[in-house]
Structure 1
Amino acid sequence: MALFRSPTRAVAAALCCAALLLAGCGPAGDRATGQGRPGDPVVRQLLERRADAVLDRDEKAYLADVTPARRAAERQVFHNLEELPLASWSYRLVSTEGTDPATVRVQLRYRLGGYDSAPVTTDESLLLRADGAGHWRVAGDGDPGGLLWEQGALHVVRGSHSLVLGTGDRAVLAGYATDADQAVPQVRRAWGGKGWTGRVVLEVPSSLRRMGQLLDAPAQTYADVAAVTTGEAGGSGTAPAGRVIVNPEAFAGLSAFGRQVVLTHETTHVATRAATTSRTPLWLSEGFADWVAYRDSGRPAASLAPELRRDVIASGPPGHLPADAGFAPGAPGQAQAYEGAWLACRLIADTWGADRLVALYRSGADPHGTLGIGEDALTARWRAYVKGELG
Structure 2
Amino acid sequence: MPPVRRSLVRVLPLLLSVLLAGCGAPAPRDTAEREVRAAVAAWARTPPAQLAGIPLEDWAYEVSAVRRSGAAATVRAELRYRLGGYDAAAAVSAREVSLAREDGRWLVTGDRAAPGALPQLWDQGPVTVVRGAHSLVLGAGRDPAALSAIAAEADRAVPAVSAAWPGPWAGRAVVLVPGSLERMAQLLGRPAAEYRGMGAVTTGRVGAAPAPADRVVVNPEGWAELSAEGRRVILAHEVTHVATRAATTATTPLWLSEGFADWAAYRGTPATPEQAAPALARAVRRGEVPGELPRAQDFAFGGDPEALARAYEGAWLACRTVAERWGEAALVDLYGRAGREPWPVAVRGALGIDPQELTKDWQEALREQFR
TM range (shorter): 0.7 to 0.9
CA distance in 2, matches of 1:270, 1:96: 37
1:192 deviation in Å?
2.2
Note closer, same or farther for the CA distance 1:96–1:228 as it changes in structure 2 (3 Å cut).
Answer: farther
1:240 deviation in Å?
1.4
- Is 1:90 aligned to 2:90, yes or no? no
Q: Determine the structure 2 residue equivalent to 1:63.
A: none
Q: Determine the structure 2 residue equivalent to 1:376.
A: 356
CA distance in 1, matches of 2:96, 2:324: 53
Note closer, same or farther for the CA distance 1:185–1:320 as it changes in structure 2 (3 Å cut).
Answer: same
- Aligned letter for 2:51? L
2:146 corresponds to which of 172, 180, 194: 172
Contact 1:126 1:138 in 2 (8 A): no
What pairs up with 1:60-71 in 2 under 5 angstroms? none
Note closer, same or farther for the CA distance 1:94–1:302 as it changes in structure 2 (3 Å cut).
Answer: farther
CA distance in 1, matches of 2:64, 2:198: 33
1:328 deviation in Å?
2.0
CA distance in 2, matches of 1:91, 1:247: 30
- Is 1:302 aligned to 2:302, yes or no? no
Note closer, same or farther for the CA distance 1:49–1:296 as it changes in structure 2 (3 Å cut).
Answer: same
| 3-state SS in 2 of match to 1:155 | strand
- Aligned letter for 1:374? D
What pairs up with 1:220-369 in 2 under 5 angstroms? 220-234=193-207, 236-332=208-304, 333-363=307-337, 364=339, 366-369=346-349
1:210 deviation in Å?
1.1
1:52 corresponds to which of 29, 42, 45: 45
TM normalised by structure 2 equals 0.82
CA distance in 2, matches of 1:265, 1:137: 42
Structure 2 regions of 5+ residues with no counterpart? 1-27
Alignment deviations for residues 72-131 of structure 1 (CA, whole Å, 9 cap, x no partner): xxxxxx233221112222344455578677654443322111111222233x23153443
TM normalised by structure 1 equals 0.78
Structure 1 regions of 5+ residues with no counterpart? 1-26, 33-40, 55-77
1:215 deviation in Å?
0.9
- Aligned letter for 1:319? G
1:50 deviation in Å?
3.4
1:367 deviation in Å?
0.8
Q: Determine the structure 2 residue equivalent to 1:70.
A: none
| 3-state SS in 2 of match to 1:156 | strand
| 3-state SS in 2 of match to 1:272 | helix
Note closer, same or farther for the CA distance 1:351–1:82 as it changes in structure 2 (3 Å cut).
Answer: same
1:80 corresponds to which of 47, 50, 60: 50
Q: Determine the structure 2 residue equivalent to 1:128.
A: 98
Count of aligned positions: 331
Q: Determine the structure 1 residue equivalent to 2:134.
A: 161
Contact 2:136 2:151 in 1 (8 A): yes
CA distance in 2, matches of 1:337, 1:129: 51
1:329 deviation in Å?
2.0
Contact 2:79 2:95 in 1 (8 A): no
Larger Rg: 2
Alignment deviations for residues 208-237 of structure 1 (CA, whole Å, 9 cap, x no partner): 111111111221221111100001221x52
Q: Determine the structure 2 residue equivalent to 1:65.
A: none
Contact 1:145 1:151 in 2 (8 A): no
Contact 2:263 2:320 in 1 (8 A): yes
| 3-state SS in 1 of match to 2:98 | strand
1:380 deviation in Å?
1.3
